[in-house]
Amino acid sequence: MTKEGGKRQATGDISILIGGKAGDGVLFTGNILARLLKRYGWWAVTYRDFPSNIRGEPTRYFVRASQERIENRRERVDLLLAFDCEALVRHMPALNSGAVILCDGADAAILSHSLSSEISSFALPLRQPAREKFGHEIYKNMMAIGALGYLLGLEIRPVEDMVRDLFLERKGEAVVEANLRAVRLGYELAQKGIPQEKRWFLPRFPHDSKIILMGDEAIALGALAAGCRFFAAYPICPASEIWQWLTPRIKDFGGVVIQVEDELAALNMVIGAAFAGARAMTSTSGPGASLMMEAFSLAGMAEVPVVIAHVQRVGPSTGMPTKTQQGDLLQWIFGSHGEFPRIVLAPGNLEECFHFTIDAFNLAEKFQGPVVILIDLDLGQNLRTAEFPLAEGWTIDRGKLLSPAELLKIKPYKRYEITDDGISPRVIPGTPEGIHLVESVEHGEDGLRSEDPDIREKMMGKRMRKLKAIAPDLPPPTLFGFPEAETAVIAVGSTRGPILEAMKYMEKEGKPIKFLQLRTLWPFPAEVVSRFLQKARHLVVIENNFTGQLLALIKSQVIFDPALKVEGLRKFSPDNFTPDEIFRGLKEICQQ
Amino acid sequence: MTKEGGKRQATGDISILIGGKAGDGVLFTGNILARLLKRYGWWAVTYRDFPSNIRGEPTRYFVRASQERIENRRERVDLLLAFDCEALVRHMPALNSGAVILCDGADAAILSHSLSSEISSFALPLRQPAREKFGHEIYKNMMAIGALGYLLGLEIRPVEDMVRDLFLERKGEAVVEANLRAVRLGYELAQKGIPQEKRWFLPRFPHDSKIILMGDEAIALGALAAGCRFFAAYPICPASEIWQWLTPRIKDFGGVVIQVEDELAALNMVIGAAFAGARAMTSTSGPGASLMMEAFSLAGMAEVPVVIAHVQRVGPSTGMPTKTQQGDLLQWIFGSHGEFPRIVLAPGNLEECFHFTIDAFNLAEKFQGPVVILIDLDLGQNLRTAEFPLAEGWTIDRGKLLSPAELLKIKPYKRYEITDDGISPRVIPGTPEGIHLVESVEHGEDGLRSEDPDIREKMMGKRMRKLKAIAPDLPPPTLFGFPEAETAVIAVGSTRGPILEAMKYMEKEGKPIKFLQLRTLWPFPAEVVSRFLQKARHLVVIENNFTGQLLALIKSQVIFDPALKVEGLRKFSPDNFTPDEIFRGLKEICQQ
Amino acid sequence: MPAIKNKDSFSRKPPTWCPGCGLYGILEAMKRAAVSLQLDPASMVIVTGIGCHGRFPNYFLSYGFHGLHGRVVPVASGIKLVNPELKVIGLSGDGDAYSIGLNHLLHAARRNLSLLILVVNNRVFALTQGQASPTSPRGFISISTPQGKVEPPLDGLKLALGAGATFIARGFSGEVDHLAFLIERGLNHRGFALIDVLSPCVTYNKINTYDWYKKHIEILNQHKSMPEDLNQAWSWLNREDKFILGVLYSATRETLEEMILPDKRKTIAGLELRPEVEKVMALMEKFK
Amino acid sequence: MPAIKNKDSFSRKPPTWCPGCGLYGILEAMKRAAVSLQLDPASMVIVTGIGCHGRFPNYFLSYGFHGLHGRVVPVASGIKLVNPELKVIGLSGDGDAYSIGLNHLLHAARRNLSLLILVVNNRVFALTQGQASPTSPRGFISISTPQGKVEPPLDGLKLALGAGATFIARGFSGEVDHLAFLIERGLNHRGFALIDVLSPCVTYNKINTYDWYKKHIEILNQHKSMPEDLNQAWSWLNREDKFILGVLYSATRETLEEMILPDKRKTIAGLELRPEVEKVMALMEKFK
Ligand SMILES: Cc1ncc(C[n+]2csc(CCOP(=O)(O)OP(=O)(O)O)c2C)c(N)n1
Ligand SMILES: Cc1ncc(C[n+]2csc(CCOP(=O)(O)OP(=O)(O)O)c2C)c(N)n1
Ligand code: SF4
Ligand code: SF4
Ligand SMILES: [Mg+2]
Ligand SMILES: [Mg+2]
């Protein structure tokens, strides 16, 4: 971003960073800003970097907005709002040339001396005026919005609408009024201290075709759309948003959410509900996922359709509960005891979060077993802008679930009937003439325990066969870029966005790339991957973890040409990948 | 086995099958017979096939004895003892020509009509005389031993010694007397009904250089030898034998075994004990292993040395608790959330069960993390004969565990000090000047929680580096057979024995094989496997499961030559592999 | 008109428990209660844990779910919540309910969801061949306690009372009629009901035999009113000389299903699922 | 001669809990108790769960183990069993101890292992940002109960009493001296001790504030004798108007460590490990 004369050059892509301490309302401020920018018709995305501590430790929050669709923050920012001087110092290295800093703190002016001439810093008193004028520090956040509004050249109307939307319903007119005054005060303070030529003037576009939300919310929406009417879960970062969003809303759909005592109860309860006929789901993250491994195997054996959303955070163990990672890719594929069919879907953006959740329920009922939706904190908890609606019309397919009338045609009814596709007609308890047993122990067609080797073999075959039957319904990998490129990238989940952006930069440098986004991790799309690799000379597997789990998975399922150069581009620090990093990484690899 | 004149030809290898119902004492009878044959200086092995039900369902028990070392039952048997006619009918297909049947049941004689002339059947009344003469059916088992003794031409003295060993200490002279009478009665009844020429006359050899036991017991012995002094566990088939054997014996070593409320408690308690300075262990099977996944990750993150023995049974879910399988090979390698160093050892015979348990404790303390000993029910619960002693002298190496004196030289002490090999000196609580924090959350060298990306990267590096440091201490794969053979077999665990036997048969047919027994599953011995495969044209991975987990693991870690023909020889019915099956399988594959 | 149910209406196949096992008495009592209430087998679901007791649905005819060790209560809760019209019975063991599964039991008691949980308390881990359980008596010699169990036995009813269960009772599998009476009451109870059934394991528990129990039980005479006194229940439960048999506490408070389910007339399991495009779109709009 | 300990002897680094959090009072009380008993920080181990309370060992100087959510008790038990010379304190939360971890708590109570378990009962899941916990009051509005919590609160002490705990007490983090007194008593108790500490969460629990508690607690005057009456404890615990603060029950019975450890003079952790070839060989002989 450069400036020219008294006004900045028009920009199509701006990055803002808000820094402060947990408890400062950084998240709140950032969220409002992101929504505002979206209402300006821009594609806004956020990146939250919070400590797992309620108050006092440093936090940062990126808001990026662009006129083109984007999925991730960039590394460097144009505008820094620092709630304290510590944040100012901490984030200086992230500033672009031409950047502006707003800082609440007396030393802000002093600190600004150490800045390069390309960067300008302004003291913006927030806390003190908030306390003085409104009796509570909390108003500093709305003041910050006002100041940012001034600096970005936003019109006041959308800001005011936003405030009303936020507070009117739950807090009433008085609160709205106070907040509007805070916005205005922030605007004025900024106006006083910051010269015109430091301002951006973001153009406004129609925004109605877009929505802004988190992946967790997209999954929750998908669950409602899919007919999920029972949700049991135990709180855990970063997955609680899914069911917490659902809690007040599912009633309207005739369903219920229940917070239970632990993750063992959560999945077992969901299994009970699904067995009894509801579309049922749970969600969790690392430690909770490990606790669900036993019941996961039960769903596979008993052939009960359940959906589990797993939002990955940094491990191992408690790890870093509020940071992102793709460190649990293999857990649902090779974890748990014994062998049973399972499906692992891995959405890479908001639309896929929504869509794959619907798919998950259809798949679960069609193949009668557990389906996992695997995302990470980055995709789950950060706000991103997507097309409205996330999808247009969807169907509910309950598979071989027999109505009482259909059941009457079958006699005797056998819950685990051995069929060509391995899928046995299902009946829910309460149905007359459908009485049966569901079993965690190896069993015959009638559900009765059996230790007969022949039955064992048939039943294993039957269960595993179901994955073949369901294969055509699984989301296939998506191919991006230049199919003839020699450099092939494979990745999954949230890295999709930054990879696509990095590919553009690579293209500009004359380095074509092809990229296969895996969307079903299991059953593994071995054929598509083999074909994708056929003419490649170089494979780069990009993933947000240490050991290269995705690469190990690919290798375990596909035989490589030994001439293929295989590379892993990995990151296991507690941040997501930026397009910049991937671009640098790919460039380096391509130069080898 | 053929007969000649009035006496059978001498045999060096005999297989006996005992069939009946759960509650019949089949296990008891078989165990005594196996021990007897071992005391005769033979190599005895057993195979138990029991229902997961206390009474009433069919059971069978193989006892095989050979003058050469063997590890597994054969498919067909020479002698069948049937506690009822149902067992007779059920097991007829398993009989070798020349076989003899003893059956307790009135219809035995009738049934024998349907037999081929090569097989002879005799009614042997057991239940009724037991009840009449001794007032309790239970004596039928000792009578059966007497009858078998007659038929095998055993001397009476070792049988009597055995009875005394069994009962004298715990039950007293009267019970010994009654049982001896039962033995004699059985002998006499057999003598009356069975002509001389049907008898074998097994020669007797010195037996003192051998012992007979289960893999579970060998692990328990190894634990004592290794200095394991704390064991917490929850009952589960087929792993309870380990700690149940230890319970009355560990006191003598100053230790304790505690049965806890569930598997979550078991591993967490073991982690607490290990943190506090004890060598501590737990054991489990499938469902319990899944429940331990969360604490497994904790041990990795907190860097606490623990040992977990997992004895595999048939899954998924509750599956078939009393049957064998290798269906959980990948669970400890790729299961659990997050990424942390772990070691998975896979013993293939009794000596390895003992030895690797000692290794496991040394490794755990040297690399400071969780070590898993992975076997299966076949190896864990069946009796096998091994050389005495299982090992001759072993060491205890506690790694970087600082004494109070050593500690005083280090200041300030940092529990998670970043070192070249990744291993940080350890101090146990209670040590003055050693105060520290052990953390499940990402942390700095001092153990205090940290979310600094730089520290995160260093700590991940530090932890994962430990596996490299410990690599030379890991049990390497063992190579058997003809190093130049084109057909290469890879397998792990209990399949070792039947593979070695099948290789002999292959050799006789002029088909040389080479076989690599993996003994450390993780970290994976990729280099050795690559070298092993270099000149092979054919790879056969033999494993006791459906999906080919070992093959997937190998593929994930080693790049194959595309010309290599890869084959899986698998079995997922609830029985172990016999040498016969492997022989047939290999022959077929080699003919392709 | 539905056919009149008799005991055969609830028979699936003959049990293979050890002859003399207390589970036979429980099976019989359950059938008597079901007949007496004229229940429809298709409207009952029995959820069991892992243990000898877990085989129950193989012998009792109704819908059945044989799940995991210790997870009877959450599975049963999931079923009940999505279909309160079903009679949901959890049949668990002393190991299943009081060792590995205790947490779920107490939270269900707190929630007061209408489930009937029967614990087959044979005071031993039977299926795993005889280890001591939390309810085994002090001094109990078993494969896991060769020197005798050291801790005093746990009483699940005391805990459930403390957790807020609205119906607790104790029965004995040797007193089939009385047990059938308790089961009937439990099945009719609105809210969470727990029945602890003292039940001999003839194979692994040689201490707590039928004879032993005959000397150590006292049956309350209570065919009329049910006791609703916390202190009375507490003191019955603290009797050291005898097990007091009967309904020890019975009270009413709003049930979980009444409090959280959105629609009294429609079960969740019975909902006809539609994509609900409009309603979902309206929610999506809110993200604009 | 060891130096005299003062409160600084137990400080690691300054806490970052929200200003006003009840945890500050607990930290202070713990220090006072440690000073009063002149404990050596190197002989104490504090095990914590996951939650705001879990940060305790970052601020209190002693050996510390910050483990998993809900598993404070088993980790603490493992430590204590192999080294009974350590003072082992488990510091847990209402979510940690009474939701996910309740099973372990009650089994430890039954075993009567000498542990002091302090539950920081702020009646909310704080670290995960304010969901209702089992101890949240009825009607509690939270992110997970936007319409108010429906079930009555759970009382961990009632359950521990039923499970056989030999010491149960209730404190309030706003009554630091009283709490320090309870902690001292708990630390000196032979057997399992549970202290439930009512503790305001100023960020997520706007109902159970310091002021609210001042109106809803009643402190027993009991510096002399300790109550050993099960019925008295039960009735205190069933008081609906007030929380009764103090030691509610204290009794002696043999502890787990006394009953199961092989050697009173040697800790397992302190054993010098040798291959013990001869003893192992002798056992191996038995398989001949
Ligand atoms: C997670 C898990 N741990 C352990 C087991 C092994 N197991 C099966 S039944 C059982 C105990 C049974 O005791 P109880 O519940 O009293 O049932 P009973 O056999 O006495 O009826 C155990 C520990 C298991 N199936 N799953
Ligand atoms: C197995 C598992 N499930 C869920 C979580 C997420 N989690 C962290 S803290 C917490 C609850 C904390 O509540 P409480 O124990 O009352 O502690 P407080 O923060 O109130 O002190 C939860 C659910 C986790 N860490 N592990
Ligand atoms: S082992 Fe015990 S509980 Fe199991 S069936 Fe036999 S008598 Fe009944
Ligand atoms: S959120 Fe509540 S419990 Fe946590 S530190 Fe703040 S006030 Fe204390
Ligand atoms: Mg039992
Ligand atoms: Mg709390």
Separation of alpha carbons D36 and A513, rounded Å: 70
Per-residue pLDDT tens digits for A451-473 = 999 999 999 999 999 999 999 99
pLDDT beyond 50 at B242? yes
Q: Is residue B204 part of a domain?
A: no
Do A411 and A329 reside in the same domain of the chain? no
Non-local (6+) Cβ contacts of A21 within 8 A are A55, A56, A57, A58, A59, A83, A84, A86, A87
Q: Taking Cα atoms as reference points, which of D274, D91, D268, D12 lies closest to residue B276?
A: D268
Q: Judge contact between A234 and A263, C-beta under 8 A.
A: yes
Confidence at residue A108, expressed as pLDDT on a 0 to 100 scale: 64
Q: Is residue C17 part of a domain?
A: yes
Q: What beta strand segments (E) does A104-216 contain? A: 120-123, 210-214
The answer to whether the Cβ–Cβ distance between B244 and C144 falls below 8 Å is yes
The residue of A52, A271, A294, A317 whose CB has the most chain B CBs within 10 angstroms, and thus the best one to mutate to test that interface, is A317
Q: Is residue B258 part of a domain?
A: yes
Separation of alpha carbons B493 and B72, rounded Å: 13
Q: Which among C111, C163, C260 has CB closest to D159?
A: C163
- For residues C37 and A92, the model is more confident at C37
Domain boundary among B472, B493, B528: B472
Positive or negative torsion for Cα A460, A462, A466, A468: positive
- How many residues make up chain C in this entry? 288
Per-residue pLDDT tens digits for A79-91 = 999 999 899 989 9
Separation of alpha carbons B406 and B394, rounded Å: 25
Separation of alpha carbons B345 and B283, rounded Å: 14
Q: Is residue C201 part of a domain?
A: yes
- How many residues make up chain B in this entry? 592
Q: What are phi and psi of B481, to 5 degrees?
A: 85, -150
Pocket of ligand 3 (CB under 6 A): B 54-55; C 17-18, 21, 23, 52, 122, 126, 201-204
The answer to whether the Cβ–Cβ distance between B318 and C50 falls below 8 Å is yes
Ligand 2 center to residue A585 CA distance, Å? 38
Separation of alpha carbons B478 and B451, rounded Å: 44
SS (H, E, C) B426-476: ECCCCCCCCCCEEECECECCCCCECCCHHHHHHHHHHHHHHHHHHHHHCCC
Confidence at residue A4, expressed as pLDDT on a 0 to 100 scale: 44
Per-residue pLDDT tens digits for A409-443 = 988 999 999 999 999 999 999 999 999 999 999 99
Q: Is residue A275 part of a domain?
A: yes
pLDDT beyond 50 at B69? yes
DSSP characters over D135-181 = TSPTT---SS-TT---SPPP-HHHHHHHHT-SEEEEEETT-HHHHHH
Q: Is residue C108 part of a domain?
A: yes
Strands A13-21, A58-66: pairing is: antiparallel
Relative to the CA of B287, which ligand 1 atom is closest? 1
Q: What are phi and psi of A62, to 5 degrees?
A: -95, 140
The two tokens of residue B581 are 């099956």
Q: Judge contact between B533 and B106, C-beta under 8 A.
A: no
Mutate to test the pocket of ligand 2, among A52, A55, A234 (most ligand atoms within 8 A of CB): A234
Non-local (6+) Cβ contacts of B253 within 8 A are B224, B229, D276, D279
A72-94 burial by CB neighbour count: b if 16+ within 10 A, else e? Answer: bbbbbbbbbbbbbbebbeebbeb
Q: Is residue D140 part of a domain?
A: yes
Confidence at residue B417, expressed as pLDDT on a 0 to 100 scale: 98
Domain boundary among A198, A220, A250: A198
Do A468 and A486 reside in the same domain of the chain? no
Q: What is the CATH number of the domain that holds A282?
A: 3.40.50.970
Positive or negative torsion for Cα B354, B355, B358, B359: negative
Separation of alpha carbons B70 and B539, rounded Å: 25
Confidence at residue A113, expressed as pLDDT on a 0 to 100 scale: 64
Beta bridge pairs of residue A44: A65
Q: Is residue C2 part of a domain?
A: no
- For residues B335 and B110, the model is more confident at B335
Ligand 5 center to residue C251 CA distance, Å? 28
D49 half-sphere exposure, CB direction, 13 A CA radius: 30
> What is the chain A residue with the closest CA to D55?
A53
Report the mean per-residue pLDDT for chain C: 97
Domain boundary among B472, B495, B524: B472
Non-local (6+) Cβ contacts of A155 within 8 A are A204
The answer to whether the Cβ–Cβ distance between B268 and D74 falls below 8 Å is yes
Do B565 and B458 reside in the same domain of the chain? no
Beta bridge pairs of residue A387: A210
Q: Is the CB of A313 under 6 A from ligand 2?
A: no
Q: Judge contact between B328 and B239, C-beta under 8 A.
A: no
Say if B234 is an interface residue toward chain C (CB within 8 Å): yes
Q: Judge contact between B216 and B241, C-beta under 8 A.
A: yes
pLDDT beyond 50 at A477? yes
Confidence of residue A569 (pLDDT cuts 50, 70, 90): very high
Report the mean per-residue pLDDT for chain D: 97
Q: Is the CB of D128 under 6 A from ligand 2?
A: yes
Torsion angle of C-alpha atoms A451, A454, A460, A464, degrees rounded to 10 = -170
pLDDT beyond 60 at B5? no
Q: What is the CATH number of the domain that holds B484?
A: 3.40.50.920
What proportion of chain A, given as a percentage, has pLDDT over 70? Answer: 97
Domain span at residue A426?
404-472
Average pLDDT over residues A203-217: 96
Chains A–B, number of C-beta pairs less than 8 Å apart? 229
Q: Judge contact between B267 and B308, C-beta under 8 A.
A: yes
Amino acid at B140: K
Say if A249 is an interface residue toward chain D (CB within 8 Å): no
Confidence at residue B276, expressed as pLDDT on a 0 to 100 scale: 98
Non-local (6+) Cβ contacts of C50 within 8 A are A440, B318, C66, C68, C69, C70, C96, C127
Confidence at residue A527, expressed as pLDDT on a 0 to 100 scale: 97
Q: Is the CB of D56 under 6 A from ligand 4?
A: no
Say if C259 is an interface residue toward chain D (CB within 8 Å): yes
Q: Judge contact between A23 and A83, C-beta under 8 A.
A: no
Q: Is the CB of B235 under 6 A from ligand 1?
A: yes
Beta bridge pairs of residue B344: B372, B522
pLDDT beyond 50 at C173? yes
Q: Judge contact between D64 and B438, C-beta under 8 A.
A: yes
Which of A165-174, B15-24, B196-205 shows the lowest per-residue confidence on average (mean pLDDT)?
Answer: A165-174
- B346 three-state secondary structure: coil
Do B273 and B257 reside in the same domain of the chain? yes
Average pLDDT over residues B458-479: 98
Do A254 and A327 reside in the same domain of the chain? yes
Confidence at residue A5, expressed as pLDDT on a 0 to 100 scale: 46
Ligand 4 center to residue D203 CA distance, Å? 6
Q: Is residue C1 part of a domain?
A: no
Chains that touch C (3 or more CB pairs under 8 A): A, B, D
Say if D146 is an interface residue toward chain A (CB within 8 Å): yes
The residue nearest atom 5 of ligand 2, judged by CA position, is A236
Report the mean per-residue pLDDT for chain B: 95
The answer to whether the Cβ–Cβ distance between C132 and B259 falls below 8 Å is yes
Do A248 and A347 reside in the same domain of the chain? yes
Q: Is residue A206 part of a domain?
A: no
pLDDT beyond 70 at D234? yes
Q: Is the CB of C69 under 6 A from ligand 1?
A: yes
Which of A474-478, B50-54, B537-541, C16-20 shows the lowest per-residue confidence on average (mean pLDDT)?
Answer: B50-54
Q: Taking Cα atoms as reference points, which of D130, D171, D137 lies closest to residue D151?
A: D137
Per-residue pLDDT tens digits for A14-53 = 999 999 998 889 999 999 999 999 999 999 999 999 988 8
- For residues A115 and A319, the model is more confident at A319
Q: Is the CB of D120 under 6 A from ligand 2?
A: yes
Average pLDDT over residues D122-140: 97
> What is the chain B residue with the closest CA to C49?
B318
Do B298 and B441 reside in the same domain of the chain? no
Angle at D69 between CA A281 and CA D269, to 5 degrees: 140
Neighbouring CB atoms inside 10 A of B228's CB total 27
Confidence at residue A392, expressed as pLDDT on a 0 to 100 scale: 87
The answer to whether the Cβ–Cβ distance between D75 and B264 falls below 8 Å is no
What proportion of chain B, given as a percentage, has pLDDT over 70? Answer: 97
The answer to whether the Cβ–Cβ distance between C78 and A274 falls below 8 Å is yes
- B128 three-state secondary structure: helix
The residue nearest atom 25 of ligand 2, judged by CA position, is D69
Say if D9 is an interface residue toward chain A (CB within 8 Å): no
Confidence at residue B116, expressed as pLDDT on a 0 to 100 scale: 75
> What is the chain C residue with the closest CA to B232?
C144
The residue nearest atom 17 of ligand 2, judged by CA position, is D51
Q: Which among B301, B333, B574 has CB closest to A317?
A: B301
Per-residue pLDDT tens digits for B550-580 = 999 999 999 999 899 999 999 999 999 999 9
Ligand 3 center to residue C50 CA distance, Å? 13
Q: Judge contact between A141 and A29, C-beta under 8 A.
A: yes
- CA-based end-to-end distance of chain A: 32
Q: Is residue B206 part of a domain?
A: no
pLDDT beyond 60 at A351? yes
Provide the domain count of chain C: 1
Beta bridge pairs of residue A514: A481, A488
- CA-based end-to-end distance of chain B: 32
Domain span at residue C179?
7-286
Ligand 3 center to residue B274 CA distance, Å? 37
Per-residue pLDDT tens digits for A498-543 = 999 999 999 999 999 999 999 999 999 999 999 999 999 999 999 9
Q: What is the CATH number of the domain that holds C148?
A: 3.40.50.970
Confidence of residue B112 (pLDDT cuts 50, 70, 90): low
Provide the domain count of chain B: 4
Chain A environment of C84 (Cβ under 8 Å)? none
Non-local (6+) Cβ contacts of D29 within 8 A are D171, D173, D176, D177, D179, D180, D183
Q: Is residue D2 part of a domain?
A: no
Confidence at residue B168, expressed as pLDDT on a 0 to 100 scale: 86
Chain A, 384-413: which have a CB under 8 Å from a chain D CB? Answer: none
Confidence at residue B114, expressed as pLDDT on a 0 to 100 scale: 66
Q: Is residue D272 part of a domain?
A: yes
Per-residue pLDDT tens digits for D89-107 = 999 999 999 999 999 999 9
Q: Which among B53, B247, B317 has CB closest to C146?
A: B247
Average pLDDT over residues A240-254: 98
- CA-based end-to-end distance of chain D: 56
DSSP characters over B227-291 = TEEEEEE---TTTHHHHHHHTTTGGGGT-EEEE-SSHHHHHHHHHHHHHTT-EEEEEE-HHHHHH
- For residues B497 and B110, the model is more confident at B497
Q: Is residue A105 part of a domain?
A: yes
Confidence at residue B7, expressed as pLDDT on a 0 to 100 scale: 66
Ligand 6 center to residue D120 CA distance, Å? 7
Confidence at residue B434, expressed as pLDDT on a 0 to 100 scale: 96
Confidence at residue A1, expressed as pLDDT on a 0 to 100 scale: 37
Average pLDDT over residues D256-273: 95
